[in-house]
Amino acid sequence: MAKIAFLFSGQGSQYAGMGKSFYESNERARQLMDKANEILPFNIKELCFEDAEKRLNETTYTQPAIFVVSQMALSLLEEAGVKPDVLAGFSLGEYSALCAAGVFDFNAGVSLVADRGALMGAVTNGKMAAILGLDKEKAEALCQEASDKGIVEVANLNCPGQIVIGGTVEAIDYACEIAKNYGAKRAIVLPVSGPFHTSLLQETAKDFGELLESKEINEPQIPLVLNVLGDYYRSDRDLRELMVSQMATSVEWEKSIRQMMDAGVDTFIEIGPGKTLSGFVKKINRQAKVLNVEDMDSLQKTLNELSA
């Protein structure tokens, strides 16, 4: 019997048209989108389906949009009777995983993610870059040299050969200039508004923590692997504290996937727009079975694979 992990898409996977086939095909998914439209101060249906005002790539809007579409996709998998043995999400996607685990319900999740997106969207004091071809030690050495120009830190440890760094503009630009000296194949500046998952987000994380104090947070009902830990959450840890620190701490994605594999997970289903996480998993272990659900076609393919 396959041991299944649900993985939830992070920021950067969004595209106009996402969630539309779910909305047009399924009443449960339609209700989720309509409920989100009631909760949010903007038209999330138009944002996801059309994006006429070109706001989908702005963090304030991106985060709730991906969250809602991911929950729509999840609802269809649940309706088909597919259950996970473990949950994880990449950066923003961790909030979809927390919701799926029962830490908060959909309505609370929409509001919480909208607040998180607005806070992070207001951070414009830096940038991020993907460094291809370096291991963690060399990436840290690169950051150390570039730190002469400002703050620069390892932000995301995605998979072998792909590490993302974040920091102040001058320091990131310099790191990209000298990356080849450390053996990097390429350095690619990412289209994000701020240096997420670095110490430059500490004040923003603190603000988010204050907001979180008034929210009801439950213990997860399904095993969770968290970005900050790169490991399974245990109830002796403070979940609120981990949610807050995630904003200003490295995403330990490769470590997270390896922990799940070590625990016997052999099937990974990426839920939400895009297939970025599927690519990461394949680079970590080519033998892993990797599926995804981002529209009705991919849902059907995944259900066919699981029943084969």
* Confidence (pTM): 0.97
Same-domain status, 288 and 237: yes
Short-list 166, 168, 160, 177, CA closest to 129: 166
pLDDT at 308: 84
Same-domain status, 153 and 296: no
pLDDT at 163: 98
9 in catalytic set: no
Same-domain status, 262 and 281: yes
Write the CA distances from 202 to 119, 159, 163, 299, integer angstroms.
12, 25, 21, 38
Query: What CATH number is associated with residue 97?
Result: 3.40.366.10
Last residue of a domain, one of 193, 222, 243: 193
Same-domain status, 78 and 185: no
Asked if residue 151 lies in contact with residue 200, where contact means CB atoms within 8 angstroms, the answer is yes
**List 9, 13, 75, 91, catalytic entry:** 91
Which residues form the domain of 232? 4-122+200-307
Q: What is the spatial order of strands in the sheet that 4-8 belongs to?
A: 86-89, 4-8, 267-271, 289-293
Same-domain status, 159 and 280: no
Same-domain status, 139 and 254: no
Asked if residue 111 lies in contact with residue 119, where contact means CB atoms within 8 angstroms, the answer is no
Same-domain status, 184 and 233: no
Q: Where are the alpha helices (DSSP H) in the chain?
A: 20-25, 27-39, 44-49, 59-79, 93-100, 106-121, 136-146, 169-178, 202-212, 239-245, 253-262, 276-284, 296-307
pLDDT at 192: 86
Last residue of a domain, one of 136, 159, 193: 193
Short-list 294, 292, 300, CA closest to 270: 292
Beta carbons within 8 Å of 150's beta carbon, 6+ residues apart? 167, 168, 169, 170, 171
Beta carbons within 8 Å of 1's beta carbon, 6+ residues apart? none
The whole-angstrom separation of Cα 142 and Cα 99 is 37
Same-domain status, 204 and 282: yes
Instruction: Give the CA angle between residues 221, 227, 229 to the nearest 5°.
Output: 85
Same-domain status, 101 and 232: yes
**List 197, 250, 256, 278, catalytic entry:** 197
Query: What CATH number is associated with residue 141?
Result: 3.30.70.250
Last residue of a domain, one of 193, 214, 238: 193
Give the DSSP letter of residue 240. Answer: H
197 in catalytic set: yes
Domains of the chain: total: 2
> Within the chain, which residues score under 50 in pLDDT?
none
Same-domain status, 229 and 298: yes
Task: Say how many C-beta atoms besides its own lie within 10 A of residue 114's C-beta.
Answer: 23
